[in-house]
Amino acid sequence: MRLPSDPHAGYLDAASAEPLHPAAREALLAALDHGWADPRRLHGEARNARLILDNAREATAAALGVRREEVSFTSSGTDAVHRGVLGLLGARRRGSTLLHSAVEHSSVLHAADWATGVLDTRVASIPVDRSGRVALDELGGALRAGSGLHALALQSANHEVGTLQPVEAAAEVAPGVPLFMDACASMGRLPLPHGWSVAAGSAHKWGGPAGVGVLLVRKGSPWRNPYPVDDRVDERGSGFENIPATLAAAAALQAVVADRTETNKRQHALVARVREAVTVIPDVEVVGSPDDRLPHLVTFSCLYVDGEALVTRLAEKGFGVASGSACTASTLAPSHVLEAMGVLTHGNVRLSLTTTTTEDEVDRFLALLPGVVRDLRAEVGL
């Protein structure tokens, strides 16, 4: 149970950042005093730092069910995505084709844009169905239509609507095509699906500190560092390692994985309750797959409601949520995810539960939402 003084009460935006896990805090504080030296040196301080870094790598590999040498730490999830995508393209040859689902995270799309200019990559977007799931038949068609070497980018789960992607089935449709999987939305929460060559994760989304990304490169995959190399412990990254943060990320990951059966069951049921309750409000549509989804995340859109006004009004009442509506984005463009799904882009709310979100918090949110929506509609004369 949460205390009323809990500073995170009402915070329902774990998909943007999960509050720091207690295990991460403990590991971070301990490692700050012992993991500051350069892990490449041979003196005692360096050996301490190296030991901590190796432990973090080992623990992360074990929690994710991959080999230790397949794990690299990067300076963020975005950095891991960029290295992951571009490393597969650069290792092919100039002018190869990158296929990606229409609902990939913007970090994947930005890497694709960059590759178009720098590596002459041809980029093709694969449509999704109304639930946000990639159309495998369209993927098959695109593979047959294109020529030359391909790479495929497909997320494990969608970050805005929670729909799980058929990564294993996509890998079967595209045999021999190296698959980059953006696993930032699901890493730690769900086991990694099979079928990927390279994958990326982001520690602050599972309760680790910000500034730690995880790049996974399967042994034997055609990945090559797309950026200037650096003479660090791990040749896939660059820059002086933030060793205390990597240990904290690993500690949080271990704890989240250990507890996830129970956490996921509880969160899945709470989200199911939200999905059911908001549908009762007139002209509100819940989007994303009802069952094949992330356990902790739900998105819905309220017809005739301004997304920014909705998020602001909810914040005034003590609830922190995200929105994919255009007015809430720096670009003033609507969410490309909602657009690709063919669902309403305005009046959008994404609610994502933290590991400590209680039933009571969810119920209080559900109790006040209908009134907030009704008031905002009344203000525009509807």
Residues that bind other proteins (CB under 8 A): 283, 285, 301, 303-306, 325-327, 333-334, 338-339, 342-347, 380-382
Task: Report residue 113 CA to chain centroid gap.
Answer: 20
Burial string for 295-334 (b: 16+ CB within 10 Å, else e) reads bbbbbbbbeebbbbbbbebbeeeebbbbbbbbbbeeeeeb
Contact 94, 120 (CB under 8 A): yes
Closest alpha carbon to 215 in 190, 243, 188, 182:
182
Nearer to other proteins, 37 or 303 (CB): 303
Closest alpha carbon to 161 in 329, 330, 277, 323:
323
The structure tokens 């696993």 sit at 183
3-state secondary structure of 44: helix
Nearer to other proteins, 136 or 303 (CB): 303
**In the complex, what is the shortest distance from the CB of residue 366 to other proteins, in angstroms, rounded to a whole number?**
21
Nearer to other proteins, 24 or 326 (CB): 326
**Cα 253–256–261 angle (5° rounding)?**
140
Mutual angle of helices 243-279 and 359-379, in 10-degree steps: 60
Closest alpha carbon to 193 in 225, 173, 165, 163:
165
Nearer to other proteins, 130 or 194 (CB): 130
Token code pair at residue 255? 């704890």
Closest alpha carbon to 283 in 225, 241, 227, 344:
344
**In the complex, what is the shortest distance from the CB of residue 141 to other proteins, in angstroms, rounded to a whole number?**
24
Contact 321, 313 (CB under 8 A): no
User: How many C-beta neighbours within 10 Å does residue 37 have?
Assistant: 17
Nearer to other proteins, 277 or 326 (CB): 326
Up-side HSE of residue 169: CA atoms within 13 Å toward CB? 11
Token code pair at residue 102? 């229409």
Strand 213-217 relative to strand 198-202, pairing? antiparallel
Residues assigned a catalytic role: 327
Nearer to other proteins, 179 or 286 (CB): 286
Nearer to other proteins, 327 or 368 (CB): 327
Q: Is 93 exposed, middle or buried (0-12, 13-18, 19+ CB in 10 A)?
A: exposed
**In the complex, what is the shortest distance from the CB of residue 306 to other proteins, in angstroms, rounded to a whole number?**
6
